[in-house]
Amino acid sequence: MDAEQRSPGGAPLTASAVMRFLAELEQASAEWYRALAAAFPEKSALLQRCASLCARNGVQVQRTYQETITDALETNFAFEGLDLRPYGELPGAVPGTLGEAQRAAVALEERAAACYEDVAGRSARLLATIPRVLQRAAEARRRNASSLALLQ
């Protein structure tokens, strides 16, 4: 994923940078799940569902950002202290076994959920709508992680 994921001089990341990071995270996650679904057709339904959920998360977060950006600006929306680097790692190639795939997927979901919770927590001070949607995205990712137990 693109983005240095931290502002120079430690200044708060802009809303634009954070939202693009999240959109890219969801897009990359969805693509990875589709690749998994192709590699493990016996679990395709579950993996496609995960892919759809990631895609929906991405759309929802982006939509919310665009629809509330005026409130955000007018109440000084800032992600002070946010460092996205720990959340930037994505699973690479499709694993060879379902067991490896499950471990990688659960790790991805937990990382994504933690990312959403981190961002939501740092934006909760002055604004309600965006953190609420981010929390929902985190919950969705945690649900994904639970359902991935069925992979094996």
* 79 phi/psi in degrees, rounded to 5: -105, 65
132 binds another protein (CB under 8 A): no
Residues 83, 99, 125, 132: which binds another protein (CB under 8 A)?
125
The distance of closest approach from Cβ of residue 131 to another protein in the complex, given in angstroms and rounded to an integer, is 15
Residue type, 73: L
69 binds another protein (CB under 8 A): yes
28 binds another protein (CB under 8 A): no
Contact set for another protein, span 70-109 (CB under 8 A): 70, 72-78
The distance of closest approach from Cβ of residue 9 to another protein in the complex, given in angstroms and rounded to an integer, is 7
Contacts of 1 (CB under 8 A, 6+ apart): 21, 24, 25, 28, 88, 90
Binding-site ranges for another protein (CB under 8 A) = 2-4, 7-17, 20, 66-67, 69-70, 72-78, 125-126
